[in-house]
C-alpha cells in the first residue's frame, strides 16, 4: 500500500463512528477481527510511511567517507529542507570558511528555483567571533522565530555562558543574517533572495550558474568603465540599509558578489541596528572606507569620511 493510499484510508477511518457499540453491530464483521485487524491496520500503515529523509544522502555527501564529520553535518543540516521539498540534492561545496560553509543545492520544482545556496554555520566557531562585543552592543535578542527575548533568565544565562546562554547567543548570530536579508530584500536591496532558515542553516538564491558561483569583487578585475557605476550602486545599498536602520558592519570586496554586471551584498550575521548600537557610526565609516579603498584601484577618488557624514548626518537629523 502506498503512503498516500494509507493516509487516505486513515482519514476515512478517523471520521467513521468507531465506538465499541457501532463496531459490534456492523454486519458481517467478526468482533475480534474488526477490533484487532481493520481498526489497527491504517495506523500501522501510517507508522510505516517513509518520507525518505532517513535514507537520503545527497550527491556531495556520497563522495565523502561515511565517517567524515562533514558528511553527517551536511545531511543533518540540509535534510529538513529535503523533507519539506525545498531542495532535492546538494551538489558541491561553493565556499569553505571558518564560521560557515556554503553549498550549491538543486531546488525542488515546487520552489520554481533551479539552484539554491545553503549556508551552514559552525555554531562552535560563532562563539569566538572577533570583537563580537562591538556587534552585540545594544542588540535585541530574538529566538528562532524572530520574537524578542526578554527576562532575567536570558540575561543571566548569557552572562554566565551556560549551555542555554550559548544556544541563545548562537541563534542570534544565525537568525540575524536571515532576518536582515529578508528585510533588505523586501526593501529592494541587492542581496540574494532569502528562502528558508532552520537551525544552523540559511537557504538563499544561488548567485551564479551550473558551472560555478559568482565571484566576489576581490576575485575579479572589473572593466574600468564599470567601476564608477558599481561603486555608486554599492553606496546606494549602504544608504538603503541605513534608511532601514541597519549597518552591515563588515562590508568589503570580500563579501560583495559580482555577477552579470551587477553586485550582491552578502554575509549579514554581524549587521547592527544603527539606532541602538553605540558603535554604529564607526562601523559605517569602516564599511565605506573599505569600499572606497577597493575602488581606488580603479582610479576613483573618494572621501570616505565625507561620504559617511553625507549619509549619517541626515539620518541622525538636527542635534544628532
Looking at the annotation, which residues are catalytic? 250, 267
Closest Cα to residue 89, out of 58, 61, 116? 58
Query: With b meaning 16 or more CB within 10 Å and e meaning fewer, what string describes 159-187?
Result: eeeeeebbebbbbbbbbbbbbbbbbbbee
Would you give the distance in Å from CA 279 to the centre of its chain? 25
Closest Cα to residue 271, out of 157, 132, 166? 132
- The number of C-alpha atoms within 13 Å of 80 and in the hemisphere containing its C-beta is 13
| 3-state SS track over 126-182 | HCCCCCHHHHHCCCCCECCCCCECCCHHHHHHHHHCCHHHHHHHHHHHHHHHHHHHH
Query: Do 307 and 251 contact (CB within 8 A), yes or no?
Result: no
Q: How many CB atoms lie within 10 A of CB 288?
A: 25
* Cβ contacts of 233 within 8 Å, gap of 6 or more: 190, 262, 263
Separation of alpha carbons 191 and 28, rounded Å: 66
Amino acid at each position: 500500500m502506498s503512503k498516500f493510499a494509507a493516509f487516505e484510508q486513515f482519514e476515512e477511518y478517523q471520521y467513521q463512528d468507531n465506538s465499541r457499540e457501532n463496531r459490534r453491530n456492523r454486519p458481517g464483521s467478526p468482533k475480534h477481527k474488526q477490533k484487532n485487524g481493520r481498526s489497527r491496520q491504517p495506523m500501522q500503515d501510517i507508522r510505516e510511511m517513509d518520507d525518505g529523509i532517513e535514507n537520503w544522502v545527497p550527491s556531495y555527501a556520497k563522495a565523502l567517507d561515511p565517517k567524515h564529520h562533514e558528511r553527517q553535518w551536511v545531511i543533518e543540516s540540509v535534510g529538513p529542507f529535503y523533507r519539506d521539498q525545498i531542495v532535492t540534492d546538494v551538489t558541491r561545496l561553493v565556499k569553505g570558511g571558518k564560521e560557515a560553509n556554503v553549498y550549491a543545492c538543486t531546488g525542488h520544482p515546487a520552489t520554481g528555483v533551479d539552484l539554491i545556496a545553503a549556508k551552514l554555520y559552525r555554531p562552535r566557531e560563532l562563539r569566538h567571533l572577533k570583537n563580537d562585543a562591538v556587534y552585540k552592543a545594544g542588540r535585541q535578542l530574538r529566538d528562532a522565530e524572530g520574537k524578542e527575548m526578554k527576562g532575567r533568565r536570558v540575561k543571566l544565562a548569557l552572562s554566565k555562558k551556560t549551555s542555554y546562554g550559548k544556544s541563545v547567543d548562537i541563534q542570534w548570530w544565525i537568525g540575524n543574517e536571515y532576518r536582515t536579508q529578508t528585510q533588505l530584500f523586501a526593501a529592494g536591496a541587492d542581496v540574494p533572495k532569502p528562502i528558508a532558515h532552520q537551525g544552523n542553516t540559511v537557504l538563499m538564491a544561488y548567485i551564479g550558474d551550473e558551472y560555478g558561483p559568482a565571484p566576489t569583487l576581490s576575485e575579479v578585475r572589473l572593466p574600468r568603465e564599470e567601476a564608477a557605476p558599481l561603486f555608486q550602486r554599492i553606496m546606494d545599498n549602504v544608504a538603503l540599509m541605513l534608511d532601514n536602520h541597519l549597518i552591515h558592519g563588515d562590508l568589503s570586496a570580500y563579501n560583495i558578489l559580482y555577477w552579470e554586471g551587477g553586485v550582491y551584498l552578502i554575509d549579514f550575521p554581524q549587521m547592527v541596528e544603527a539606532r541602538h548600537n553605540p558603535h554604529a557610526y564607526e562601523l559605517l565609516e569602516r564599511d565605506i572606507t573599505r569600499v572606497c579603498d577597493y575602488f581606488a584601484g580603479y582610479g576613483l577618488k573618494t572621501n570616505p569620511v565625507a561620504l559617511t557624514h553625507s549619509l549619517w548626518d541626515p539620518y541622525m537629523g538636527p542635534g544628532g
